[in-house]
Amino acid sequence: MKEVVYLKKIMNDATQIVTEMVDGMALSYPEYVKRLDDLLVLVRSQEESMTNKVGLITGGGTGHEPASAGYIGEGMLSAVVCGQIFSSPTPDQILAAIQTADHGKGVFMIIMNYSGDIMNFDMAREMAVMDDIDVRFIVVDDDIAVEDSTYTQGRRGVAGTVLMEKILGAAADSGASLSEIEALAKQVLPNLKTIGVALSAATVPEVGKPGFTLAEDEVEYGVGIHSEPGYRREEMQPSAKLAEELLARLNDEFNFTPEDHYAVLVNGMGATPLMEQFVFMRDVLNQLADFGVQADFTKVGNFMTSLDMAGVSLTLLKLREDQWLKQLNYPVNTIAMVRK
């Protein structure tokens, strides 16, 4: 009899991987998150910390860990809805997250710009309104790789979402109202831009083969976090050249001016060692210094991954308001981000 050959991922059953991951998170970090019975929704454990505050939720397909459940906790998210891998969650689950996150001050949803997510969160919002819960939202579309026009779905939401969550989380924790949070999100959004480069694609467990294939010496600029196609393939370049290309695209958007202040996030896609990410950040910061630009907040690591994809993304947030930097540095206590 032929033995079953398991796909080389640490899992039991590809169809149960999300459920088992959600359980694993709740079992490993009960001080941060708990699972809503029978749902793929994780909620902040420290309930007292949410009293009288606007609830902040997000969600979407999984496979981007630690995003987003890793950011549940004091000073950041109230609840996260986990869809199947790379696939939007359903409205009933989102509704449950809204209901649990509502502490009388309404709920704000951070949605990444994918048509499935938008529609499902929209349905949930309509249902919540019937429950008399005040729900507002922002659609994050920081990925500048995609042309933004009426002829496309628009830009995708990628790693910049984490900075949006950090800032709004600080505001919510400080007692901002739902309208204030909505206004803040709208203010921040146009200043938040990300661009990535992939060295290899992710393999979705149920699919069992990578989303695309790059030659041994090829990279692809602008790939999305679900292996969506990028804008150019070329021969692998040294780190400094990769940084140059990504910064050039960001400069097209921002028009770097000496004395501009930015938050800078280098995000590993999943399989790229921290060593490489730090080398890349060094090149980015040196080149930003050449532009005369100030980097006031810098972070390096796996914040918004794409399963086992290799590569990095670079996010810049132009700090138009001093308050935003304070909000980035505001105390936070989650699985994946802690600041005293």
Partner 1 sequence: MLTVETIAQWMNGWTKDIKANKGYLNELDSVIGDGDHGSNLARGADAIEAALLTAPDDVPSTFKAVAMAIVSKVGGASGALYGTAFLEMYKESQRTTDMVKILDKAMKAMEKRGDSKPGEKTMLDVWEPVVKAAKRGNVTPIVIDDAVESTKDMKATKGRASYVGEKSIGHLDPGAVSSGYLFHNLFEVGLVG
Ligand X SMILES: Nc1ncnc2c1ncn2[C@@H]1O[C@H](COP(=O)(O)OP(=O)(O)O)[C@@H](O)[C@H]1O
Rounded to whole angstroms, the Cα distance separating 137 from 94 reads 13
Q: Are strands 107-112 and 55-62 parallel, antiparallel or unpaired?
A: parallel
Closest approach, Cβ 88 to ligand X, in A, equals 6
Which tokens sit at 302?
């796996």
* Residue (49 or 187) nearer to a copy of itself, CB: 49
Q: Are 191 and 263 in contact (CB under 8 A)?
A: no
Q: Which of 151, 213, 257, 259 binds partner 1 (CB under 8 A)?
A: 151
Active site residue 64: yes
* Identity of the residue, 16 or 115, whose beta carbon is nearer to ligand X in the bound complex: 115
Rule CB under 8 A: choose which of 116, 205, 210, 301 binds partner 1: 116
Give me the residues that bind a copy of itself (CB under 8 A), please: 3, 5-13, 17, 20-21, 23-25, 27-29, 62-63, 65-66, 70, 85, 199-200, 216-217, 219, 235-240, 242, 266, 270-283, 285-286, 298-300, 302, 305, 307-308, 310, 312, 331, 333, 338-340
- With respect to ligand X, which residue has the nearer C-beta, 113 or 194? 113
Nearest distance in Å: CB 164, Mg ion: 23
Q: Output the CA–CA distances (angstroms, integers) from residue 260 to 81, 221, 247, in the order listed.
A: 36, 25, 14
Q: Are 314 and 303 in contact (CB under 8 A)?
A: no
Structure tokens given for 152: 């496309």
Tell me if 17 sits within 8 A of 11, measured CB to CB: yes
Among the options 34, 226, 249, 318, which is catalytic?
226
Q: What part of residues 117-146 is at the interface with partner 1 (CB under 8 A)? A: 118-120, 122-123, 146
* Nearer of residues 87 and 333 to Mg ion, judged by Cβ: 87
Residues 6+ apart with CB under 8 A from 11: 17, 20, 205
On the question of a cis peptide bond just before residue 68, with omega within 30 degrees of 0, the verdict is: yes
Whole-number minimum distance, CB 96 to partner 1, in Å? 11
- Residues annotated as catalytic are 64, 226
